[in-house]
Amino acid sequence: MNLDGIRVLFRYSDWANEQVVGASVDLSDERLDRDFDIGRGSLRRTLLHILAGETVWLKRWQGDCETPWPSEDEPISPETIGERFVETFRSRNLFLSTVDGQKLGRAIVYRDSKGGLFTASFGDMMLQMCLHSAHHRAQAVNILRRLGATPPELDYMMWVRRPAIAASHP
């Protein structure tokens, strides 16, 4: 995978995150916090987990190998979660504007959320962020269905075929 390919995956991931958050904004706190045997247990915690992952991976790329995992229990609205996603998108895109393709193979040392020390290539860490988010977005869509809400269609090819949506992303 090259840097341009990873950037496309980030744009898709950003759009997909916005779709899931958007499908959640009209839900009551009771529905957002209802426990399920999937994902992080509730829709709100699952959305906060996706956001936490994207925030932590960005900090690791920037050289902060000791980043603690953020709380997933904040009682914040989907709108606020969406605003935090946008802040993370902007910070990530600003950081990526300084990155060239040669950096993808560079090794980065970091600690995971349990304190274990690991080394991974920059490129693999970037892909991990996309895959982590996709995994938990699928759980969020499943929770939305279980709540009786209308889940978004997140198929990658749907996104590709809708260039007006993809081009409108910040």
Q: What is the pLDDT of residues 26-80, one digit of tens each?
A: 999 999 999 999 989 999 999 999 999 999 999 998 888 888 889 999 999 999 9
The token pair that represents 23 in the structure block = 């499908």
170 has a pLDDT exceeding 70: no
Task: Report the Cα 24 to chain-centroid distance in Å.
Answer: 15
- 120 CB contacts (<8 Å, ≥6 apart)? 107, 108, 110, 128
Q: At 29, which CATH number?
A: 1.20.120.450
Q: Do residues 134 and 127 make contact, with C-beta atoms less than 8 angstroms apart?
A: no
Q: Do residues 30 and 13 make contact, with C-beta atoms less than 8 angstroms apart?
A: no
Please tell me the pTM assigned to this model: 0.91
Determine the Cα–Cα distance for residues 22 and 110; give it in Å rounded to an integer.
33
The number of distinct structural domains making up the chain is 1
100 lies in which domain range?
3-167
Q: What is the pLDDT of residues 82-98, one digit of tens each?
A: 999 999 999 999 999 99
* Residue of 46, 30, 5, 17 whose CA lies nearest to 142: 46
